[in-house]
Structure 1
Amino acid sequence: MTKLTDTFELNNGTKILKVGFGTWQIPAGKARQAVLDALSVGYRHVDTALVYGNEKQVGQGIRDSGIPRDQLFVTSKLPAESKSYEEALRDFETTFNNLNIEYLDLYLIHAPEPWRENGANYDAENQDVWRAMEEIYHSGRVKAIGVSNFRVHDLQNILEVASVKPAIDQIQYYVGYNQPKVSAFGKQENILIEAYSPLATGGLLGNPVLTKMAANYHVTLPQLAIQFVIQNGVLPLPKATSKEHIESNGQLDFEISAADMVQLNAIQDTDARYHFM
């Protein structure tokens, strides 16, 4: 059973809520209301990024909710194209001003290389950016720092120079695509794995195995997929714009059996359309 108020503990002692509300692909015009709806049904963890183009609206929704800041957990991300110390500091200021919410709980490097250069080597640049991330962390304006879409090599590269270990690696993770190498490395290094697109951006919907298993638990397929992520010790970031779906995704008052978890973990790539976002 999972409640929206349950937490994991990061490697610096910060508590992070076990289920987040993702805002990737939510247009700026809908982001404020989506965040308000998520907070109204019990979510207290919101994830955004500068590249999403909705930070101002996400921040507005947080402020308009009236929920005390210390009861919320808010994440944003440094653009993948920002690969220098100076660019990282500059873009953080943009994010900080966009959100306008006193501080961030978590700030991530969005990817190890620019989006259009998938596979390119930016090891030296990432180490330079991590120096800026640590400076931001020590300023007190961010409670924890981490990365997103980093593979094992990319994490090892940061760990070579880090005085502050990444707290999070946010990756694509769902039934059939659980990235075992980086997931195992994260566990070994006490770096929490977060799962964006835990429903494979809708790609899991209609899957016959998941549909049948969800029916056995009297839950929806999205609820099953989200609970699967949590029971693997990973933090899901489901996204929706309909208040009904937002609320449903957070209703996780059941537990998947050990046998069914084995079956779910054995499923091979159910939908691999979105492997780097």
Structure 2
Amino acid sequence: MKTKQYGIGLALVLALGAMGAARAETFRCQLADRIASYQQTPCAVPDLPPPPAVAPKPAPKPAMAPLAPRAGDDAPFSTLTPRKREVLDLTARLERCRSDQPGFAGKSDDLYRSWRRRHAATLSEHSHLLATKIRVTRPDAAACSDDWLREIEPLAREPDARFSTVEKTWQAFVAALLAADRAAVMRCVTGPVARAMGDRLERLADADLRRMGANIRELKVLWGDDYDKEALVVHGDRVDGVVFRRNVNEEWKVREMKPAALKPATPRRSSPDS
């Protein structure tokens, strides 16, 4: 009997203890400023801060189209034709002489206007290179002489159609000999031939000049480019070599005469009338 009562009492005590433990359960809730609160109810869910606003990405700027270079401005000087290089070199020298040497601008005005007009296309196409050339060119007084002006004066003229090809130049040369026209002969030659022939023409009689022209029978071009050409000429009972030079004014002139057995002349890239 006592054992039965003891079991009933133990069960009752355990049940009451469990109820008390349930009633005694507490919740630790974190408040602001690191303060904790203990309560028998579950902690309230705190309001979460809204997510930070994301700034919109700026629209990408359209790529700028590259500026188109002006024709010829970026071309390296070494890639230009010999003729264009000579035009730029001589123009830079002329400009510096006019700006640096007292009195030179006045005496070169007419030639300067003709020069700019004659070579306008090249000077406009390569204006940037020309400006660079003018800045670095420093001719002295001797390089700005009257003799130099006379040397480049023919290059400021419009080209003569009579000298537009090697064959036409040779025809004009032979015709001048046949007519004993010394001035016309000199217009067909340049360089060493011009220097040697100037005195010789004065010593020869008209009959000698006509005889020289009559002995010339045929011209045959062997090789060449747009700057120099070499040809063979049947002259009486022999064959001679003739070298033609195309000057900066686009005219072909006889530059050298020599026996055909000699080694062909090497094309030069110096001054057009040297």
TM-score range for the pair, normalised by the shorter chain length: under 0.3
Q: Which protein has the larger Cα radius of gyration, Structure 1 or Structure 2?
A: 2
Compare relative contact order (CA 8 Å, sep 6+) and give the higher one, 1 or 2. 1
With normalisation by structure 1, the TM-score equals 0.24
